[in-house]
Chain A
């Protein structure tokens, strides 16, 4: 089975500062997708950003960017100019469409981020 590890159960950051959430994964495949999801207290799962493994360029979405290190199997999320609304649980996820017929996702255990006013 594929594994996804988030080694930081909880983190905090001052409003307007930058924070980086870590994620590592284990796979022998070469083609796959990586995602970061945000889960605010409302419980809704919201896609933040995604990265295709075959693309060398790191994905960015406004204040959110990733540092994708394929050889190291690392996929960290950087949040710039942190806002109070960024307070949430963040999940890293891995998907390899070739492993099975279902495009299954494998999730990390999550990092709870608190933005401090």
Chain B
């Protein structure tokens, strides 16, 4: 199994505060992704990375930034959290095209 861990697993934060979610992989895979999951929307791509310092926007990138300074870590930052960013956030890696995405266990973020 590709080792992929997300932290924290749960977080409650106040509106207007910055929040950083971490995704860590142990297999040196090139591609990493951040999705958010909301009822009625499925999973939507926020940002993705195709290498160290190589990132690009996804479908719902407004209000989010990412950084990848090392192959193994992909950070998602909410610069100023809003209630609309209350969601479950998933990190994923692509091992190969054939195997598709491997997901982390998700982070439930609540913005109050």
Contacts and interface: CB of A to CB of B under 8 A. Distances in A.
Interface of A: 1, 4, 6, 33, 35, 37, 43-45, 47, 50, 52, 91, 93, 95, 97, 100-110
Interface size for chain B: under 10, 10 to 19, 20 to 34, or 35 or more residues? 20 to 34
B59 A97 contact: no
Interface of B: 31, 33, 35, 40-45, 48-50, 56, 58-59, 88, 90, 92, 94, 97-103, 105-106
Closest 3 CB pairs of A and B: A45-B103, A107-B42, A107-B43
A43 B106 contact: yes
Given A1-B59, A33-B100, A97-B97, A102 B43 contact: no
Contacts of B94: 103
Given A43-B88, A45-B90, A108 B100 contact: no
A110 B37 CA distance: 11
B50 A33 contact: no
